[in-house]
Structure 1
């Protein structure tokens, strides 16, 4: 394994006379790396222990940390109070606000969404009544995407596992489409030195071809005048500005400029053919990793998906179950999915039915649990939901006991100082972590086995 940057990549970057090659090479030789998190605005937690000392300039919820903690040993991380994300990637929230996309409900698609950084950002930054479809092409990665959105706690999300071509069955459906495309990864050389050995001209060409296939297969799902956010973590023009020019030529799109502040030190570029404006993040100029970002708007007159045949149906979920566990004044529609009860905002009931007809849904809304007899066995998703009823009994734990809970260890019955029996929420610093079920002589730990803390 070598930490030496590929000569061909450096040569191409150096062709721009304004590019500081020496600073770029030097920053890759240092061990200093930025650490950043983005807080969940729906879960106002005390994160002073993280030493979040400086705000990310283009994202008000983003913070740089003075040192990298062991996130796995922080219960607030498991509670979904924040997401660990590269500061460069948080630029999407600036684009959303610059374009005013947060002022009214939108339908958004995050096409290549795992592990979920941009999806949770979209979910937090768009209007709260928006609908987000978060898709992951690779089946093995969709679970982590669903888990991260579950921890984020909002019901206006559908997680799908589909090939990009499936979305062309929803023509003109989305107002916003985000494609953080699979790429050659040169922007992540500092984070992953193995990527240096894997980089080659041939791989750049292969990635460029794959990016075009992904975009061509799904672009019809974006409505006329809808916005496309295209990004990569590559420095190669073939994967960045050349793709933007291709989109403009092939799909009647226009480049959309964004205002940025000079002190942010983001490099603004123009493409060779259409002088389309894009943004490059270089680690020797900004506190973050390599990133490319462009905004395009679709001008082509696009046929639109017809909702006329989609009919509303009465929910078969007993209302008393919802009232016992959820803030039902938030107008949620309950439905069954893979033997579980889920809820989604009423306004998207028909959209849910339409999506079910054409896509494979990995998750939809908030899964609240299974009905056994007349009662609900609550799910972990419900515990981390932002819509859970505030009056549900809970037990507040200190750090040591909270970590034992997250390890799915047996908890001593003495912890239940109130003597409550039945389903009880576990909290840490006021934030929900999951369920226990208490009895007179024992506590059953219901933290999901598949996400428990191991080996720490």
Structure 2
């Protein structure tokens, strides 16, 4: 009898799954910890001590030990994201299906918070591509927005909508990722508490919810577009059975993703439609449990129709010129206002933004640059972390590690500046945020809601 407290009937439910090795699975849970892995931000090159490279994601690396990410300024600067290794397989899928695609694409991450797969998608696409990261649960939107702001790109929109609302955007997206809510058995080693919530009844409930989410969102995928479906569950009801249902009900075509035997990933086929799926088992891969698949839509479910935006803002060209000064390559952006805030998004996404503004509840669009007060710009935190800022026109103050932690805690900074005005506070050349340097003090403008609260040990 194994010591690990798996739920009743759990191992029995997996006994017939292709590639499942019960003894190896039990051993991995009893005798090994979940590996720590990070994914580097390709837009913010930094010198980081990393371990072995991820076999299915070039930017992914295993760490030999888990450091205190909270007290690493480069983490707060968005130089990397701490992400579970198996989930980075989505990068491999995206790059495979896009290898011969030259036209810009619009990508949706439907269940996006906290932002791991959204930042991954953002790294895998180009500036002319658009990422819409949606989170259904309102309370989870802020962490998604914060993580994408750290990543620094301007071709991103964050929304807070139900899949049915997005489904009304017929044929709008070229790629949709649905990392579906699931029973969570793939996280048992990383989060043993998840075992208390697992049951066969919950698996069936998740299966029904997954079908509802997929049915609601599929109209938004265009013909010849790709659906990437993933879960952190081992249950075939939530995985291969869903693939059979998708192929039968919506005439989707399964896409076989090439993998290497040494990766340890188990390739499966669904019972009825022989749709390809990819299973990750701890002990066979260096990562946690995951199921991933890719399907292609072969039917046309209609078009959104012609859209003319009659709500264009009348904004001063003089003010736009003031904002432009703060951006690198300013002519490549479309500028607009939300209340008093100026924002910028890649010019190629202007029409898409107008459509999304009309149909969805948006929480972040491009990069929030700041507010104009006369001839001065009060810069926003998003601008500081972005890769589009023109650093030639702003003051910069390089901090030591201890000073950076003081800044990130919103403590008084032990610093004697010789210049005055708004300054980017940087660590190893990477922006952390803004401070205003005054003759007798430094005003720390790091956002209160994301400051470090833990004590530094």
Please, what TM-score do these two structures have when normalized by structure 1?
Answer: 0.96
Report the CA distance between 1:8 and its aligned residue.
Answer: 1.4
The SS at the match of 2:93 is helix
CA distance in 1, matches of 2:144, 2:116: 9
Report the CA distance between 1:285 and its aligned residue.
Answer: 0.3
Q: Of 64, 81, 84, which aligns to 2:82?
A: 84
* 2:66 corresponds to: 68
CA distance in 2, matches of 1:142, 1:23: 38
Question: Is contact 1:116–1:144 with CA below 8 Å preserved after alignment?
Answer: yes
Report the CA distance between 1:328 and its aligned residue.
Answer: 3.5
Deviates most, 438-447 or 132-141: 438-447
* 1:59 corresponds to: 57
Q: After the TM superposition, which residues 23-422 of structure 1 pair with which residues of structure 2 at under 5 Å, given as runs? A: 23-48=24-49, 52-100=50-98, 103-310=102-309, 313=312, 316=315, 318-329=319-330, 331-391=332-392, 392-414=394-416, 416=417, 419-422=418-421
The gaps in structure 2 that reach 5 residues or longer are: none
CA distance in 1, matches of 2:300, 2:334: 33
Question: Is contact 1:245–1:273 with CA below 8 Å preserved after alignment?
Answer: yes
Question: Is contact 1:3–1:196 with CA below 8 Å preserved after alignment?
Answer: no
CA distance in 2, matches of 1:152, 1:270: 36
Report the CA distance between 1:297 and its aligned residue.
Answer: 0.5
The SS at the match of 1:61 is strand
After superposition, the CA RMSD in angstroms is 1.5
* 1:446 corresponds to: 445
Question: Is contact 2:425–2:435 with CA below 8 Å preserved after alignment?
Answer: yes
The gaps in structure 1 that reach 5 residues or longer are: none
Question: Is contact 2:110–2:163 with CA below 8 Å preserved after alignment?
Answer: yes
Deviates most, 320-329 or 213-222: 320-329
Decide whether aligned partners of structure 1 residues 150 and 280 sit closer, same or farther in structure 2, where only a CA change above 3 A counts.
same
Report the CA distance between 1:3 and its aligned residue.
Answer: 4.5
Could you list the per-position Cα deviations for residues 272-322 of structure 1 after superposition, in whole angstroms to 9, with x for gaps in the alignment?
A: 110111100011100000000010000112211124423694762513322
The SS at the match of 2:52 is strand
Could you list the per-position Cα deviations for residues 10-38 of structure 1 after superposition, in whole angstroms to 9, with x for gaps in the alignment?
A: 11211247531101011111242201000
Q: Which contiguous aligned blocks of 4+ residues in structure 1 show a shift greater than 3 angstroms?
A: 101-104, 310-315
Could you list the per-position Cα deviations for residues 115-173 of structure 1 after superposition, in whole angstroms to 9, with x for gaps in the alignment?
A: 00110011100123100000000001011000000000011000000011011220000
CA distance in 1, matches of 2:20, 2:114: 32
Question: Is contact 1:370–1:378 with CA below 8 Å preserved after alignment?
Answer: yes
Report the CA distance between 1:255 and its aligned residue.
Answer: 0.5
CA distance in 2, matches of 1:315, 1:211: 43
Q: After the TM superposition, which residues 419-434 of structure 1 pair with which residues of structure 2 at under 5 Å, given as runs? A: 419-434=418-433
CA distance in 1, matches of 2:329, 2:276: 46
The SS at the match of 1:327 is coil
CA distance in 2, matches of 1:248, 1:400: 56
The SS at the match of 2:325 is helix
Could you list the per-position Cα deviations for residues 174-212 of structure 1 after superposition, in whole angstroms to 9, with x for gaps in the alignment?
A: 000000000000000011111111100011011111111
Please, what TM-score do these two structures have when normalized by structure 2?
Answer: 0.95
